[in-house]
């Protein structure tokens, strides 16, 4: 995959993102331009997009969880808008292929880096708002985030990560705690993937998880273990 050059209004695809056709294609081009490629870049749009994203997600949590207190909604919002979640959305949208990066970032694989992808999502949100208005922006964000909103854990478990939930499940039953072990690493130094195993002695179970950090891999291994041992949520 290679980063594309800056888009121009002569390319119809350059003026479209999702279902929205930009009246100002330069606005979308700016949203997809990293600061390493020069000005105008997307940092100001990122600032605005971050605020819009937090508002739209907060509105959804307020509507969906009428009995939740401020703390629970704050934790859920932080989970939804964290960098890795935004980077995942960027990958689903194939945003990396449309980024304009400077030579150094192109060489180091910046189009795959979570921080750059997450910032670009926020910048595109702002561009959609400025070009199409709040409702256009809101509908796009809701379409991207609906799977994440639907997958939120039960209210009483919001804010507890998979490792914590697995530990609490075992402790409640007076069972031995899990053991995590690094099984391998792959990829370049700036773009590594870690593979971690999670072993339970009772019930006897072994799962694996992969991620861009050892901690992320441990969380996914714990999530896989929980999926095996927990009863369906009720």
Residues designated catalytic? 50, 122
Closest listed residue to residue 88, CA positions, set 68, 117, 65: 117
> What DSSP string runs through 179-196?
EEEEEEEES-TTS-EEEE
> Is 119 flagged in the annotation as binding?
yes
| Angstrom distance (rounded) from CA 51 to CA 124 | 12
| Angstrom distance (rounded) from CA 94 to CA 25 | 18
> Is 46 flagged in the annotation as binding?
yes
Angle, CA 191 vertex, CA 190 and CA 197 arms, to 5°: 125
In degrees and rounded to multiples of 5, residue 153 shows phi and psi of -70, 170
> Is 59 flagged in the annotation as binding?
no
What residues are designated binding site for Mg(2+)? 46, 119, 122
What residues are designated binding site? 46, 119, 122
């Amino acid at each position: 995959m290679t980063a594309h050059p800056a888009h121009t209004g002569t390319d119809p695809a350059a003026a479209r993102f999702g279902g929205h056709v930009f009246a100002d294609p330069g606005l979308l081009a700016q949203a997809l331009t990293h600061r390493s490629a020069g000005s105008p870049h997307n940092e100001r749009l990122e600032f605005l997009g971050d605020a819009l994203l937090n508002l739209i997600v907060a509105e959804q949590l307020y509507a969906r969880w009428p009995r939740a207190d401020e703390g629970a909604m704050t934790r859920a919002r932080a989970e939804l808008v964290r960098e890795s979640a935004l980077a995942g959305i960027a990958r689903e949208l194939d945003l990396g292929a449309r980024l304009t990066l400077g030579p150094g970032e192109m060489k180091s694989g910046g189009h795959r880096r979570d921080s750059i992808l997450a910032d670009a999502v926020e910048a595109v949100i702002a561009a959609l708002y400025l070009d199409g208005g709040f409702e256009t922006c809101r509908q796009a964000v809701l379409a991207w985030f609906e799977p994440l909103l639907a997958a939120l854990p039960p209210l009483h478990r919001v804010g507890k990560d998979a490792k914590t939930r697995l530990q609490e499940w075992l402790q409640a039953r007076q069972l031995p705690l899990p053991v995590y072990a690094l099984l391998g690493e792959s990829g370049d130094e700036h773009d590594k993937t870690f593979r971690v195993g999670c072993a339970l002695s009772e019930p006897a179970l072994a799962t694996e998880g992969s991620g861009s950090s050892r901690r992320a891999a441990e969380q996914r291994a714990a999530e896989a273990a929980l999926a095996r041992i927990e009863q369906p949520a009720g």
